[in-house]
Amino acid sequence: MKHGSKSADLAGVFAALSDATRLRLLNLMNGREVCVCYFVEILGQGQPKISRHLAYLRKAGLVTARREGKWMHYRIVPQADEATASILDAVLASFGSDRQMQADRARLDRACCARRTLVVPVGAPRPAALAQ
């Protein structure tokens, strides 16, 4: 299914949503762009497996990717098709009450913040949010 296609392949969308790892990936991308390195770290799975699941989500038209150096960053694609958009919205909303999904998001928040502390140049003043 291509992004913006009016003839949505709902079977493909449901197939993409039928795997727990792919659901966890969508949960982590909900509202943000995420680098593959974080998926590997948070889910504790190998990069080839994560990439295979992300390719499945891309093929279904649910996510898109951009390259930055050697890293790939993924985000959820806003759906032009009304049926697909409502299905994806319902799935993403359901993650709010799922303990596993919330734990994954908390680990991502900690991992992202920990990484940001590493990019402050030596001797540079630390931003107030990182100084604590």
Q: What is the DSSP letter of 66?
A: E
Give a yes or no: residue 132 inside a domain: no
Q: Is the dihedral of CA 107, 110, 113, 114 positive or negative?
A: negative
Total number of domains constituting the chain = 1
Give a yes or no: residue 76 inside a domain: yes
Q: Is the dihedral of CA 118, 120, 125, 126 positive or negative?
A: negative
Give a yes or no: residue 87 inside a domain: yes
Give a yes or no: residue 2 inside a domain: no
pLDDT of residue 1: 43
pLDDT of residue 119: 35
What residues make up the domain containing 61? 10-117
Q: Which residue has the higher pLDDT, 77 or 129?
A: 77
Give a yes or no: residue 3 inside a domain: no
User: Could you tell me the pLDDT band of residue 113, with boundaries at 50, 70 and 90?
Assistant: low
**Cα–Cα nearest to 51, from 63, 36, 65, 61:** 36
Give a yes or no: residue 126 inside a domain: no
How much is the average pLDDT of 66-75? 93
Rounded to the nearest 10°, the torsion over CA 53, 54, 56, 60 is 140
Asked if residue 114 has pLDDT above 80, the reply is no
Q: Which residue has the higher pLDDT, 123 or 23?
A: 23
Give a yes or no: residue 131 inside a domain: no
Distance of alpha carbon 50 from alpha carbon 20, whole angstroms: 12
Give a yes or no: residue 127 inside a domain: no
Q: What is the CATH number for 26? A: 1.10.10.10
User: Could you tell me the pLDDT band of residue 48, with boundaries at 50, 70 and 90?
Assistant: very high
